[in-house]
Amino acid sequence: MKPTDEKQPAETPETESDIKPEKTPTRWSVWRQRLRKQHTAMLRRIEYDRLRRIRRQTVPKYVHCKNCGTRLEGMYCHRCGQYALDTEQPFWKYIKQYFENVYQFDSKVWQTLWLLFRRPGLLTREFNAGKINSYVHPLRLFMFISALFFLAVAFFIPEADQALKSNEKQLSDLKNPMILNALKNEEMTGGGTPDRDTVVWVANARTVFEGLEALVEVQEQTGSSTLQVRLPAYLIKEEYLVAVPRDSIFWSNEDPQRPAALFKHDEVQQLHREMIYAKIIGWFSQWLPVILLLFIPLFALLLKGFFHRSRMHYMGHFVTALHLHSVQLILIFTVLLGGQWIDHTRNYALLLLLLYLLHMIFAFHRIYGESWGKTAVKALLLHGLYILVMASVLFALIIWLLLPLMQRSGW
């Protein structure tokens, strides 16, 4: 029996209406593909630089190690670990090797800092993947930024007296032993009355006149002939202020006709506030890197709690915390530095805070791979909780440090 031929359905010609038109790429898809290509090219370039740095062999100037005598097979002795330093090299090479060996101050530092801001979270992901030699170690990077922060604060942040932006002008020609001895004798003997055009404020607490030459500054108010003796605020008590005639622009607390509304605006109270503010700012600027370093383990613990589904070990979260705090330290320094030239410092600080939050969201999305919405919510909640805990601890510490000072100043 011959097999019957199966009837094949006749192919109908495709009409123009049946042909689906190709979708034109949108602007967003083109931009995303371009970013993906740039990201791939950047990773390949990083890997190429890493392999080239590893495979590059530098021949030492001598054959045997000068420390232990072992035959050298590279720039480092495999027995004692000493670097094969060329003692006859130029001075600039000594400086370069010092920064490279101690602070890793080479191209990796600037490449690491560039990627730290350009690609949030990339350094953390690369480090957790085992690519350690390509970049600066996270802890070493934080310590390097902290060292730069200390130096920058010492050079660029003014002292407390300058930061208060006082309008008073110092009269160095009036600050001489003759005037200081006259003021000392005036207070010690208790005699004499200040002239009607002169106001002298003196604190007699704790026998400060023994060191009057180191404490007193005689100044003149702009546009008047009023003289003022300035002492540290914690040495000035209101009950020690010398009463002055009623025609003066200042009153003492013993004056019954002193307006009560001006009590809170008294210059003594202003000195108290300026002194405490300057002390807080100075202490905060000096110890900020140490404070952040102590709080980094807490931040890593919060990361482990918020992103526990990533199953990342604690040290992976710790690396994330180190990179984020490095960014935070740089931004805080820009706020302190920008406050010297920018009038609206608060708006500038809020802008940098917004940039830091965006940086954190992008970093979390790249590291933990969660959706944008979930990542943003977790980042904001984590940052708020972390700031609350840090503020509570710092507030208690500041109160503990300032309590003796406030008690001495009569608060």
Helix axes 267-306, 138-156, angle to 10 degrees: 170
> For residues 410 and 283, what is the distance between their CA atoms, to the nearest angstrom?
22
Question: What's the pLDDT at 233?
Answer: 43
Buried b (16+ CB within 10 A) or exposed e, 237-260: eeeebbebeeebebbbeeeeebee
pLDDT of residue 96: 64
Domain ranges of the chain: 29-137, 167-244, 270-408
pLDDT of 275 higher than 80: no
Contact yes or no for 134/46 (Cβ under 8 A): yes
- pLDDT tens digits along 220-263: 334 444 444 444 443 444 444 444 444 444 444 444 444 444 44
Query: End-to-end alpha-carbon separation of the chain, Å?
Result: 117
- Check residue 371 and give its pLDDT: 92
Strands (E), 179-252: 217-220, 227-230
Burial 90-115 (b: 16+ CB within 10 A, else e): eeeeeeebeeeeebbbeebbebbbeb
What is the tens place of the pLDDT at every residue in 76-114?
888 888 877 776 767 776 676 666 555 555 567 888 889
* 298 has pLDDT over 70: yes
Q: What is the mean pLDDT of residues 304-315?
A: 90
**Mean pLDDT for the chain?**
69
pLDDT of residue 130: 85
Tell me the per-residue pLDDT of 111-141, one tens digit each, with 9 for 90 and over: 888 999 999 999 999 998 888 877 888 998 8
Q: How far is CA 200 from CA 54, 139, 175, 218, 260, in A?
A: 72, 54, 14, 9, 22
Q: Tokens 């800092």 identify what position?
A: 113
Mean predicted confidence (pLDDT) in 131-157? 81
pLDDT digits (tens, 9 = 90+) for 339-394: 666 666 678 788 888 999 999 999 999 999 899 999 999 999 999 999 999 888 88
Tell me how far CA of residue 182 lies from CA of 163, 171, 229, 235, in angstroms: 31, 17, 12, 20
In 3D space, the residue among 407, 167, 157, 401 whose CA is nearest the CA of residue 267 turns out to be 167
How far is the C-alpha of 88 from the C-alpha of 86, rounded, in Å?
A: 6
Give the model confidence (pLDDT) of 177-235 as tens digits.
655 566 556 555 555 554 444 444 444 333 333 443 343 444 333 444 444 444 444 34
pLDDT tens per residue, range 31-65 = 888 888 887 887 777 777 666 655 565 677 788 88
Overall average pLDDT of the 303-307 stretch: 93
Pair 176, 216: CB distance under 8 Å: no
Residue appearing with tokens 């009560």: 260
